């Protein structure tokens, strides 16, 4: 879900407090690929997404019901179908395909592909919104693509039979998120933040409820302690608490500034994958990581500006 159009509301604390929230998100979002990789050993990506998003939606609905604010979870008329589509592209397509990719390739490879989102959003923005690609953003995109080239270079990375499909699946998922982000920027939304989150997560949970029984056998799920822990952790930390921290950060600093800090997330993710999963930090992976992070940072330096009409 992309909330890049959020504006600062003048809340107290400023950049220092926002940095604290973003630091937590670097841990929660950048490091979550480790735990998803562990969960994928015992559950399919569709069932995994149904459980974690369904649980997050249920908890959010219960909380707002108890607070007497249930109406705040329903977007205004005219925004619901578009909001659901964006949620399916970002929460649904992105997280399902990246989770599936981690059944085939290393979590470190997937986390780096995932954080090339700003590069693909740049291209989708130019195509759909006619946003101008600044020189800095162009250089950033080139560095990001160079990082992907190194990341998929058979001479520097360990390629196996599943490496190519795993990489391609992750790239399709990432473009789903990027396209959703661009569609989100097409209009000014009137629905509240939590209404947007609830509606997008709900649409994703509903889609997973329909697809999971058809495409994945429930009998293949193994209810191991690591799988259950990773699923519960996902519902509460990266999803519910994660979006709360993102909202708090965006209420204090501009979205592009928050995005620049968040490019540190894949660095943490790669390091954690090495510590927890034992994935090798090969020179090619580290070079790709540096290029992807630098490219994303340059791409996010300034908000894109639309080209003049005519």
Q: So what's the pLDDT on residue 251?
A: 82
As a whole number of angstroms, the distance between CA 58 and CA 72 comes to: 15
Take residue 248 and report the two structure tokens written for it.
């708090």
Pairing of strands 305-306, 131-132: antiparallel
DSSP letter assigned to residue 238:
I
Give me the residue label for tokens 């964006």: 86
DSSP run (H or E) holding 27? none
Place of tokens 């791409």: 299
Structure-derived torsion over alpha carbons of residues 302, 2, 75, 13, reported in degrees to the nearest 10 = -60
What phi and psi values does residue 46 have, to the nearest 5 degrees? -70, -45
pLDDT of res. 147: 87
| SS3 (DSSP) at 12 | coil
Alpha helices in the chain (DSSP H): 14-25, 32-39, 45-66, 80-87, 95-101, 107-114, 117-124, 135-151, 163-184, 193-215, 225-234, 242-250, 255-262, 265-277, 283-299
- What pLDDT score was predicted for residue 307? 44
Residue 304 has a pLDDT of 47
The pLDDT score that the predictor gives to residue 309 is 38
pLDDT score recorded for residue 233: 97
Backbone angles phi, psi at 216, to 5 degrees: -135, 135
Domain ranges of the chain: 14-306
Q: How far apart are CA 285 and CA 291, in angstroms?
A: 10
pLDDT given for residue 151 in this prediction: 79
Listed residue (218, 219, 235) closest to 54, CA to CA:
235
Per-residue pLDDT, 11: 53
* Secondary structure element (H or E) that encloses residue 132, with its range: strand 131-132
pLDDT mean for each 10 residues of the chain (310 residues): 50 75 94 96 97 96 92 90 94 95 91 91 91 88 87 66 83 94 90 93 96 93 96 96 90 81 90 93 86 87 48
Burial class (CB within 10 angstroms; exposed 0-12, middle 13-18, buried 19+) of 3: middle
- The encoded tokens of residue 262 equal 């968040």
């Amino acid at each position: 879900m992309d909330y890049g159009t959020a504006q600062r509301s003048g809340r107290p604390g400023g950049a220092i407090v926002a940095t604290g929230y973003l630091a937590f998100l670097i841990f929660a979002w950048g490091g979550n690929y480790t735990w998803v990789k562990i969960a994928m050993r015992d559950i399919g990506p569709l069932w995994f997404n149904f459980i974690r998003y369904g649980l997050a939606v249920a908890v959010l609905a219960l909380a707002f019901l108890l607070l007497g604010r249930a109406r705040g979870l329903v977007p205004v008329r005219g925004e619901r179908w578009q909001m659901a589509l964006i949620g399916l592209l970002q929460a649904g397509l992105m997280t399902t395909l990246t989770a599936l990719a981690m059944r085939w390739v290393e979590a470190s490879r997937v986390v780096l592909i995932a954080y090339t989102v700003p590069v693909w959003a740049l291209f989708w923005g130019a195509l759909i919104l006619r946003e101008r690609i600044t020189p800095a953003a162009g250089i950033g995109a080139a560095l990001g693509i160079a990082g992907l080239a190194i990341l998929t270079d058979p001479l520097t990375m360990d390629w196996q039979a599943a490496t190519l499909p795993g990489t391609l699946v992750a790239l399709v998922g990432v473009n789903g998120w990027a396209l959703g982000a661009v569609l989100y920027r097409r209009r000014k939304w009137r629905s509240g933040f939590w209404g947007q989150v609830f509606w997008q997560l709900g649409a994703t949970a509903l889609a997973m409820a329909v697809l999971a029984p058809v495409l994945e056998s429930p009998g293949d799920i193994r209810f191991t302690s690591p799988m259950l822990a990773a699923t519960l952790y996902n519902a509460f930390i990266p999803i519910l608490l994660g979006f709360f921290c993102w909202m708090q950060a965006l209420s204090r600093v501009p979205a592009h500034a928050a995005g620049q800090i968040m490019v540190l997330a894949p660095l943490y993710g790669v390091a954690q994958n090495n510590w927890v999963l034992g994935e090798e930090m090969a020179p090619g992976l580290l070079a790709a990581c540096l290029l992807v992070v630098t490219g994303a940072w340059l791409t996010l330096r300034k908000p894109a500006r639309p080209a003049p009409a005519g």
